[in-house]
Amino acid sequence: MRIAYRDAVREAIRDALKADPRVFLMGEDVGRYGGSYAVSKGLLEEFGPQRIRDTPLSESAFVGAGIGAALGGLRPIVEIMTVNFSLLALDQIVNNAATLSHMSGGQLSVPLVIRLATGAGRQLGAQHSHSLEGWYAHIPGLRIAVPATLDDARRMLAAALASPDPVLLFEHLYLYNMEGELTPGLERVDLEHAAIRRAGRDVTLITYGWSLYKCLAAAATLAQEGIDAEVLDLRALRPLDDAAIMASVRRTRRAVIVDEGWRSGSLSAEVATRIVEQAFYDLDAPVARVCTAEVPVPYAKHLEAAALPSPETIAAAVRNLLTSGAGG
């Protein structure tokens, strides 16, 4: 049966609401409107306003309320409409959700799930096109996961709700319309392991989110040129799956990190550093990166496209690595 990404997320939320009376969904326009990206459409009618809770535009208050409700014994799913608006709740996420377990000497835990739409590509301009998941991955105490596939969109939420820690799930806005088939019989996924989405011998493309599909497209192009690229979907940005990254890089001896975030002080920098720290002598070439240009993401279609990673720029970085041995 074909299913769209947004429907997979909705089914996951519906399952969770049915399975556990402590679970509820709260956020801006999740109820009457049906969700800004139509993810929660129909859930208000099915579960009622106590469990599908529309909030005012008070990101800090309703994210903090999610933390408090988690402390109070519930299992909230808080939807922040987009990562861009999460900056208004940064105090609650960074100062409270991430610290309370440690700061209380382990007395408290914050079993909170926050879902956020992330990313660029829809000509929404600088304030609606951020990819800040790498920023959040900087913070000890948080768990960061990125469902890029339909299976993960369908199954990651249950794993996040089962975690006693605060989990941020980043859904790339470009993926909501993606359709395909779920893997039959798949019941459980975790929030800790990367997955090889395409096996290859010559280079590892390390990526996550929407960029996964750009990497797969680049790999298809490269295959016609006789270059066999492996594509590793990180799935979790915190904790990073070092073992999977190193195992792949040791096999292919080359790594290109593809990240829609900016490169300075970034997740891609972290992954590159870990490779250098742990697998330097297994490399045949410097680690390369393809990231978003260091500009606020512009509106005009051609400028936005030029700013973001693309299958072409990814393939070019791989060719460069294989021919000159130099970084992209």
Partner 1 sequence: MSAAGGYALSREHGLELLRQMLRIRAFEDRSYRLYGETKIRGFLHLYNGEEAVAAGVMQALRPADAIVSTYREHGHALARGISMNAVMAELFGKQTGCSRGRGGSMHLFDAAKRFYGGNAIVAGGLPIAVGLALAQKLQHQSDLTACFFGDGAVAEGEFHESLNLASLWKLPLLFICENNLYAMGTALERAQAETDITTKARAYRMEATAVDGMDAFAVEEAVADAARKIRNGAGPALLEMRTYRFRAHSMFDPQLYRDKAEVEAWQKKGPIVSLTTRLKALGLMTEEDYQRLEREAEAEVETAVGFAESSPWEPVSELARFVYAEHIA
Q: Interface residues with partner 1 (CB under 8 A)?
A: 24, 50, 55-56, 58, 60-74, 76, 91-92, 95-96, 100-109, 111, 140-141, 143, 162, 164-165
Cβ contacts of 322 within 8 Å, gap of 6 or more: 202, 203, 227, 254, 285
| Secondary element (H or E) of residue 245 | helix 242-252
| Token pair recorded at residue 162 | 């089962």
For tokens 């408090």, name the residue.
Answer: 68
Residue (31 or 209) nearer to partner 1, CB: 31
Shortest Å, Cβ 43 to partner 1:
16
Shortest Å, Cβ 100 to partner 1:
7
Residue (97 or 245) nearer to partner 1, CB: 97
Shortest Å, Cβ 70 to partner 1:
7
Indicate the residue type of 85. Answer: F
Q: Which of 79, 128, 230, 270 is catalytic?
A: 128
Q: Residue 59 catalytic?
A: yes
Residue (57 or 326) nearer to partner 1, CB: 57
Q: Which of 11, 28, 45, 59 is catalytic?
A: 59
Residue (20 or 228) nearer to partner 1, CB: 20
Residue (165 or 282) nearer to partner 1, CB: 165
SS (H, E, C) 288-311: EEEEECCCCCCCCHHHHHHHCCCH
Secondary structure class of 116 (helix, strand, coil): strand
Is the peptide bond preceding residue 184 cis, with omega within 30 degrees of 0?
no
CA angle, 107 as apex, 104 and 111 as ends, to 5°?
100
Positive or negative torsion for Cα 283, 262, 196, 137: positive
Other C-beta atoms within 10 Å of 307: how many? 21
For tokens 């005009």, name the residue.
Answer: 300
Residue (63 or 227) nearer to partner 1, CB: 63
Shortest Å, Cβ 238 to partner 1:
10
Q: Residue 128 catalytic?
A: yes
Is there a contact between 101 and 20 (Cβ–Cβ < 8 Å)?
no
Secondary structure class of 263 (helix, strand, coil): coil
CA distance linking residue 45 with residue 214, whole number of Å? 37
Shortest Å, Cβ 242 to partner 1:
16
CA distance linking residue 75 with residue 65, whole number of Å? 12
Shortest Å, Cβ 173 to partner 1:
25
CA distance linking residue 325 with residue 288, whole number of Å? 10
Q: Which residues are catalytic?
A: 59, 128
